[in-house]
Amino acid sequence: MDEGHWRSLFNDYSNSSFVELLRRESPHLVPGLGPRPTSEVFEPVHGTTVLSVRYRDGVIMAGDRQATAGYQVASRRIEKIFKSDELSGVGIAGAAGPAMEMAKLFQTELEHYEKVEGENLSLEGKANRLSQMIRMNLPAAMQGLVVVPIFAGFDEKAGTGRLFKYDITGGRYEETNFDAQGSGSKDARDSLKKLWKREMGRDEALRVSLEALIDAADEDVGTGGPDLVRGIFPSVKTITRSGFGDVPDDEVKRVCEAILTERAQTGSGA
Amino acid sequence: MPLPYYVSPEQMMKDKAEYARKGISRGRSLVTLEYGDGILLVAENPSTLLHKISEIYDRIAFAGVGKYNEFENLRIAGIRHADVKGYSYSRGDVTSKALANAYSQALGNIFTQDIKPFEVEVLVAEVGDANGMKSEMYHILYDGTIEDERNYAAMGGQSDEIRRFLKEHYKEAMSLGDALQLGVRALTVTQNKTLSERDLEVAVLDRTKARRKFRRIPMEALGQLLGTAK
Q: Does A15 touch chain B (CB under 8 A)?
A: yes
For residue A3, what pLDDT is reported? Answer: 59
**Looking at this predicted complex, what is its ipTM?**
0.90
The CATH homologous superfamily to which domain B27-221 belongs is Aminohydrolase, N-terminal nucleophile (Ntn) domain (3.60.20.10)
The string of DSSP letters for B31-81 reads EEEEETTEEEEEEE---SSS-SEEEEETTEEEEEEE-HHHHHHHHHHHHHH
- CA–CA dist A85, A115 (Å, integer): 12
pLDDT of A133 strictly over 50: yes
Count CA atoms within 13 Å of residue B65 on its CB side.
Answer: 31
Kindly determine whether residue A118 and residue B83, on different chains, have CB atoms separated by under 8 Å: no
Neighbours of B72 (CB within 10 A): 17
pLDDT of B7 strictly over 80: yes
**Least Cα separation, residue A183 to chain B (angstroms):** 30
The tens digit of pLDDT for each residue in B154-191 reads 999 888 999 999 999 999 999 999 999 999 999 998 88
The total number of residues shown for chain B amounts to 230
The tens digit of pLDDT for each residue in A177-223 reads 999 999 999 999 999 999 999 999 999 999 999 999 999 999 999 99
Cα distance between the two ends of chain B: 67
- pLDDT confidence of A5, banded at 50, 70, 90? low
Q: Which of B55, B56, B87 sits opposite A29 (nearest CB)?
A: B87
Domain residues of chain B, as ranges? 27-221
Residues of A in contact with B51 (CB under 8 A): 118
Kindly determine whether residue A115 and residue B84, on different chains, have CB atoms separated by under 8 Å: no
The string of DSSP letters for B81-149 reads HHHHHHHHS-GGG--HHHHHHHHHHHHHHHHHHSSS---EEEEEEE---TTSPPPEEEEE-TTS-EEEE
Average pLDDT over residues B200-225: 94
Average pLDDT over residues A95-115: 93
**CATH fold of the domain at A44-263:** Glutamine Phosphoribosylpyrophosphate, subunit 1, domain 1 (3.60.20)
For residue A2, what pLDDT is reported? Answer: 54
pLDDT of B192 strictly over 90: no
